């Protein structure tokens, strides 16, 4: 492509000052289809440029950037292909670490960036940006000004590499989001390995671009931090939502006004395409990948808008259990949870109390014993026993620690979701009441996202107690558990 000097200078002047203009000018260098310029593209380009300008000046970052948008919205073209090439027009010495869930995906984006930089148009407009001939591999190429781009898959080795920019594009594929182990492994790598690969920890921003897949996916973990700017653009804003449902998140809030008939991009993602994706992806996939909300509208397994939140317990509980799901990781990992669940004389189920903490084994046993003392001897205690000799021994230790109390050890069968389904059915039927206490918010948050919740311990404990309640009065070792009748209190409205 032949470009006159005057035209090259004009393009150079405009594109160096505006990432959006750069994207428009160089789109055809890597994408065969014509650019359909929707407003969300301009927004993302503007946000990326704000972050980059501080790096160019060597100023401390104001925040990391999390961008949640649906697939097919050109996020990788913008963030993982064009952005790197544009930054070099302003800072040829800029160093990038770019990663995705798979090495081949990251390399594909790297090749596109290299194609832009080596194009005739780019060379004519930015002759000072040249790639070193000895480092033009897909995974690593460098400029003659000591800038470079290192591309890797998540969990890849990064020893010796540091970046002025760290870009993470889809660190988790949808299938991995079903695996708790994969989630933890990816999050640990991002936190412990990638976060240390910065040229200057005060200046280097992390830019995370992905579709939401789980409450505890990398976006969820990043958003727990204070210094994060969140760009969240769901593929649509549904018109109809049930009473009590949380609204779909759009960030920044001003972007909501830019939706046309509730659609983010009516040309590339019109209503017909969205309907097809809803069928193909299913309710969880559509909620996560298109709506950027890991919970389907109306709730996931637990329809939390059907829960009754009340201040006072019922007049009469006819049967109740304290059900324990035990963990042994102090100040981290899973929680030890003791859930008190009962049924009243009208057949309504009540979540009466939650004891929840991250404790070591000794402290956990003390909590269980102290809770039994507070509950009194009339409340039967359920202890979930994991498989293997270690789980059985742990259960026996708990029983021995509760001498004088009625304790039932049980081994759960089926997966967590299957065990929780009977309780979820009662919630959906409006037959479950929850006391409004300090622990209620955390409980509802877990119920809302389950089975894609960050933690599942409260659900496990409640499922164990509820499934035992369903069986009615039972005989354990010749002992028939007693029904309890608390002191009468005002019936909730």
Q: What is the pLDDT of residue 444?
A: 94
From-to residues of CATH 3.40.50.300 in the chain: 5-290
Beta-sheet pairing, 317-325 with 336-344: antiparallel
Task: State the burial class of residue 156 (Cβ atoms within 10 Å of its Cβ: 0-12, 13-18, 19+).
Answer: middle
Sequence-distant (6+) residues with CB within 8 A of 280 are: none
Q: What is the pLDDT of residue 390?
A: 52
Q: How many CA atoms lie within 13 A of 422 on its CB side?
A: 15
Reduced to 3 states, what is the DSSP secondary structure of residue 42?
Answer: helix
The structure tokens 């109809």 sit at: 240
The structure tokens 């003659």 sit at: 144
Distance, in Å, from the CA atom of 54 to the CA atom of 165, rounded to the nearest integer, reads: 11
**How many C-beta neighbours within 10 Å does residue 157 have?**
8
The domain 304-480: what is its CATH number?
3.30.420.240
Q: What is the pLDDT of residue 178?
A: 75
Q: In terms of Cα–Cα distance, which of 350, 489, 353 is closest to 431?
A: 350
HEC profile for the chain?
CCCCHHHHHHHHHHHHHCHHHHHHHHHHHCCCCCCCCCHHHHHHHHHHHHHHHHHHCCCCCCCEEEEECCCCCCHHHHHHHHHHHHHHHHCCCCEEEEEECCHHHHHHHHHHHHHHHCCHHHHHHCCCCCEEEEEECCCEEEECCCCEEEEEECCCCCCCCCECEEEEECCCCCCHHHCHHHHHHHHHHHHHCHHHCECCCCCCCEEEEECCCCCCCHHHHHCCCCCEEEEECCCECCCCCCCCCCCCCCECHHHHHHCECCECCCCCCCHHHHHHHHHHHHHHHHHHHHCCCCCCCCCCCCCHHHCEEECCCCCCEEEEEEEEECCCCCCCCCCEEEEEEEEECCCCEEEEEEEEECCCHHHHHHHHHHHHHHHCCCCEEEEECCCHHHHHHHHHHHHHHCCCCCEEEECCCCCHHHHHHHHHHHHHCCCEEEECCCCHHHHHHHHHHCCCCCCCHHHHHHHHHHHHHCCCCCEECCEECCCCCCCCCCCCC
From-to residues of CATH 3.30.420.240 in the chain: 304-480
Beta-sheet pairing, 336-344 with 349-357: antiparallel
Backbone angles phi, psi at 475, to 5 degrees: -105, 125
Q: Which two tokens stand for residue 253?
A: 């809030």
Q: What is the pLDDT of residue 486?
A: 36
Vertex 102: Cα angle to 210 and 225 (nearest 5): 35
Distance, in Å, from the CA atom of 473 to the CA atom of 77, rounded to the nearest integer, reads: 62
Q: What is the pLDDT of residue 392?
A: 66
Q: In terms of Cα–Cα distance, which of 459, 382, 465 is closest to 415?
A: 459
CATH 1.10.540.10 is right for the domain spanning 5-290: no
Reduced to 3 states, what is the DSSP secondary structure of residue 327?
Answer: coil
Cβ proximity of 361 and 300 under 8 Å = no
Q: Which two tokens stand for residue 493?
A: 């409205």
What's the whole-model pTM score?
A: 0.75
Distance, in Å, from the CA atom of 425 to the CA atom of 186, rounded to the nearest integer, reads: 33
Taken in order 430, 432, 433, 436, the sign of the CA dihedral is: negative
Cβ proximity of 229 and 44 under 8 Å = no
Q: What is the pLDDT of residue 385?
A: 85
In order along the chain (493 residues), what is the average pLDDT of each group of 10 residues? 86 97 96 95 98 98 97 95 98 97 93 95 96 82 95 90 96 83 90 94 97 91 93 89 68 95 95 94 89 79 91 94 83 84 95 95 93 94 74 77 91 88 92 96 92 90 94 42 36 37
Cis-peptide into 42, omega within 30 deg: no
Please give the radius of gyration of the chain, using alpha carbons only, rounded to the nearest integer. 28
Burial 13-25 (b: 16+ CB within 10 A, else e): eebeebbbbbbbb
């Amino acid at each position: 492509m032949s470009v006159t000097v005057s035209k090259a200078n004009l393009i150079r002047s405009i594109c160096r000052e505006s990432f959006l203009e750069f994207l428009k000018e160089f789109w055809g260098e890597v994408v065969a289809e014509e650019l359909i310029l929707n407003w969300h593209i301009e927004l993302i380009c503007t946000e990326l440029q704000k972050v980059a300008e501080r790096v160019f000046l060597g100023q401390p970052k104001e925040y990391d950037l999390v961008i949640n948008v649906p697939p097919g919205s050109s996020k990788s073209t913008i963030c993982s292909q064009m952005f790197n090439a544009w930054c070099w027009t302003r800072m040829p010495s800029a160093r990038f670490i770019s990663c995705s869930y798979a090495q081949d995906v990251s390399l594909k984006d790297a090749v596109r960036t290299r194609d832009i930089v080596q194009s005739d148009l780019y060379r004519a407009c930015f002759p000072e940006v040249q790639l070193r001939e000895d480092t033009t591999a897909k995974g690593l190429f460098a400029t003659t000004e000591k800038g470079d781009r290192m591309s890797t898959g998540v969990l890849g080795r990064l020893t010796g590499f540091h970046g002025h920019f760290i870009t993470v594009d889809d660190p988790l594929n949808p299938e991995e989001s079903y695996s708790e182990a994969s989630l933890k492994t990816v999050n640990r790598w991002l936190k412990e390995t990638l976060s240390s690969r910065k040229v200057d920890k005060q200046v280097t921003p992390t830019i995370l671009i992905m579709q939401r897949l789980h409450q505890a996916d990398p976006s969820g973990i990043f958003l727990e931090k204070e210094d994060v700017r969140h760009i969240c653009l769901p593929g649509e804003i549904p018109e109809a939502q049930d009473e009590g449902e949380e609204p779909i998140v759009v960030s920044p809030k001003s972007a909501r006004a830019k939706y046309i008939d509730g659609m983010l991009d009516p040309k590339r993602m019109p209503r017909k395409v969205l309907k097809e994706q809803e069928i193909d992806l299913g309710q969880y996939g559509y909620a996560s990948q298109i709506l950027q909300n890991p919970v389907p509208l109306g709730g996931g397994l637990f329809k939390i808008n059907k829960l009754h939140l009340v201040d006072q317990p019922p007049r009469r509980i006819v049967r109740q259990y304290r059900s324990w799901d035990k963990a042994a990781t102090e100040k981290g990992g899973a929680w030890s949870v003791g859930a008190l669940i009962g049924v009243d004389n009208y057949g309504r189920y009540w979540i009466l109390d939650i004891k929840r903490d991250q404790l070591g084994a000794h402290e956990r046993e003390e909590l269980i014993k102290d809770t039994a003392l507070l509950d009194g001897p009339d409340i039967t205690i359920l202890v979930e026993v994991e498989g293997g000799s270690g789980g059985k021994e742990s259960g026996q230790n708990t029983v021995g620690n509760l001498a004088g109390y009625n304790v039932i050890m049980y081994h759960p069968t089926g997966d967590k979701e299957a065990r929780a389904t009977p309780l979820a059915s009662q919630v959906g039927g409006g037959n479950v009441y929850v006391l409004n206490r300090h622990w209620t918010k955390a409980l509802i948050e877990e119920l809302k996202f389950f089975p894609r919740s960050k933690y599942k311990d409260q659900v496990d404990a409640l499922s164990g107690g509820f499934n035992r309640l369903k069986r009615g009065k039972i005989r354990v070792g010749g002992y028939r558990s007693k029904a309890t009748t608390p002191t009468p209190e005002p019936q909730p409205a």
